Amino acid sequence: MTNMEAEIITIGTELLLGEIVDTNTRTIARALRDIGLDLYRTATVGDNVERIAQAVQESIERAQAVITTGGLGPTVDDPTRQAIAQAVHTTLEFRPELWEQIRAHYTRYDREPSENSRQMAFIPHGAIPIANPVGTAPAFIVETEHSAIISLPGVPAELRVLLEQEVIPYLQRRLQLKDVIKTRILRTAGVGESWVDEQIADLERLSNPTVGLAAHPGRVDIRITAKGEDADKVQERIAEMEDVIRQRVGEYIFGTDEETLEGAVSELLQSSDSKLVTIESGTEGLITRLLTESCASFESGEILPDIPNIEDLEQILESTIQNHGVDVGIGIRVQPEEDLTKVDLVVRRGDDMICFTRTYGGPPEYAPYWAASHALEILRKQLIS
C-alpha cells in the first residue's frame, strides 16, 4: 500500500477571525504523530457549507483519513453535517438511535431537548456514528472507497476524549498502522543553537531516529524521534542516541521531556538545603515569577526599577544575601543599548561568585528570558560542582 496520510480541517468562522485559537489541530497532529500517520496539510474553513464541502472533497482526493472538528452543534447553521453529505454526494438521514442518545443526554441534566437539537440526529447517509459520552453532538465517520472522513465536535475537551477512545483505534485498524513513534527531548541551557548544531550535525542527518533542534531564548531543545513496530526496540534506539548526545553536550543538559530549568535548579537547592534570593532590573520581574511558581527554596525576589551598573547590582545582591541569611543569590540587570541589549549577571553560591556582562542581539523582549536562562544555568553548574 502507498504511504498513508491524513489531513485536518478545522471549521469555524471564529477561528478565521482570530477570535479563538485553534488548539484542536495541535491535539490531533500529535495524536497522529504518535501512531505514525503522516500529516502534510491542515486547513481552516469558516461556517459555510459550500466551502467546507469543497475542502473535504480536495482532502479525500489526497488523504486516507480526513479529520474535521467543529460545526456539529444543534443550530441549523452548524454546517458540518450538511457539508460532508454534499462532499460525498449524499443526503442526511435521521437516525432514531442518535435522537434517543441526545434525549437521554438532556434528561440526565433534567432538561428537555430543544426542537433544534433534533438536527444533531441527522448524519450523512450510511455514516458510522460515534457516540459522544462527554457532550451532546454525535460525531460520525463517512467511509469512501479511498478515504474516511471523521467529523468531531469543536469543544477541545470532547475532541480529546473521542480522539483517544474512538478515532485513533479506528485509524489504526482501518489503515493497519503498526508503527509506534516515540520522542525524547533533551533540554540544554547556556549555549547557543549554532554551537549545539556543530556538536551533533552528523546525527541530525540520520533518519531513524531523527534528531532535531528547537531554539528558545537561552535554551536549546534536542528532540530525538524514533519509530518502529516494536515499542521496546524504539525505546532502545532513542536511549542509544541519547547516550551519544550526552557524551557530546551532556554538561549543558539540565533535564528531559517536560522538565524545566527552574525545576532542576529548585531540586538542587532543596537537596543542598539552600535558600535563594534574587535581584532583578529591566526584566519585568521574570525571574521572580518563574521561581515563585516552581521553587520551594525561593526566599525573596526584589524587582528594582533602575540599577546603574554591575557593581551596584553586585553590592545590592550582597547585602540582600546577608539580610536574609542565605547563601545563594542571583542578580540580573537588562538594559537596552542602541541595537543591542546589555545583560549583567551576578550569580553567587557561598564563596563562588560569577559576574559577567554580555550583549544580547536577539529581539529585546526575549532578553529577560535569555538572561534568566543563563543565570539559572550558571547556578545549576555551581550547585552540582
Summarize as ranges the residues that interact with ligand ATP (CB under 6 A): 10, 12, 15, 20, 22-24, 69-73, 78, 135-137, 153-156
If one counts every other C-beta atom within 10 angstroms of the C-beta of residue 259, the result is 15
Minimum distance, C-beta of residue 120 to ligand ATP, in the bound complex (Å): 8
Minimum distance, C-beta of residue 52 to ligand ATP, in the bound complex (Å): 11
- Tell me how far apart the alpha carbons of residues 177 and 155 are, in angstroms, rounded to a whole number: 27
Please identify, using beta-carbon distances, which residue of 29 and 191 lies nearer to ligand ATP: 29
Q: 72, 80 in Cβ contact below 8 A? A: yes
Please identify, using beta-carbon distances, which residue of 45 and 171 lies nearer to ligand ATP: 45
Minimum distance, C-beta of residue 17 to ligand ATP, in the bound complex (Å): 12
Largest interatomic CA distance in the chain: 78
Minimum distance, C-beta of residue 152 to ligand ATP, in the bound complex (Å): 7
Please identify, using beta-carbon distances, which residue of 1 and 17 lies nearer to ligand ATP: 17
Minimum distance, C-beta of residue 157 to ligand ATP, in the bound complex (Å): 9
Minimum distance, C-beta of residue 102 to ligand ATP, in the bound complex (Å): 11
Q: φ, ψ for residue 349 (rounded to 5)?
A: -130, 110
Strand partners, 278: 301, 330
Q: Residue 231 contacts by C-beta under 8 Å, 6 or more apart in sequence?
A: 180, 182
Cell numbers describing residue 299: 526566599
Alpha helices in 71-128 (DSSP H): 80-87, 96-108
Minimum distance, C-beta of residue 188 to ligand ATP, in the bound complex (Å): 32
Minimum distance, C-beta of residue 165 to ligand ATP, in the bound complex (Å): 17
Cis peptide before 156 (omega within 30 of 0): no
Q: 250, 179 in Cβ contact below 8 A? A: no
* First vs last C-alpha separation in the chain: 55
If one counts every other C-beta atom within 10 angstroms of the C-beta of residue 236, the result is 13
Pairing between strand 276-281 and 298-303? parallel
Minimum distance, C-beta of residue 74 to ligand ATP, in the bound complex (Å): 6
Please identify, using beta-carbon distances, which residue of 43 and 313 lies nearer to ligand ATP: 43
Please identify, using beta-carbon distances, which residue of 68 and 341 lies nearer to ligand ATP: 68
Please identify, using beta-carbon distances, which residue of 32 and 378 lies nearer to ligand ATP: 32
Q: Judging by beta carbons within 10 Å of its beta carbon (0-12, 13-18, 19+), is residue 377 exposed, middle or buried?
A: buried
Please identify, using beta-carbon distances, which residue of 78 and 377 lies nearer to ligand ATP: 78
Minimum distance, C-beta of residue 75 to ligand ATP, in the bound complex (Å): 8
Please identify, using beta-carbon distances, which residue of 24 and 373 lies nearer to ligand ATP: 24
Amino acid at 12: G
- Tell me how far apart the alpha carbons of residues 371 and 358 are, in angstroms, rounded to a whole number: 9
Nearest to 333 by CA among 299, 297, 308, 364: 308
Residue written as grid cell 541569611 = 325
Strand partners, 221: 187, 214
Please identify, using beta-carbon distances, which residue of 12 and 228 lies nearer to ligand ATP: 12
Cell numbers describing residue 118: 433534533
Strand partners, 266: none
- Tell me how far apart the alpha carbons of residues 143 and 90 are, in angstroms, rounded to a whole number: 12
Please identify, using beta-carbon distances, which residue of 159 and 226 lies nearer to ligand ATP: 159
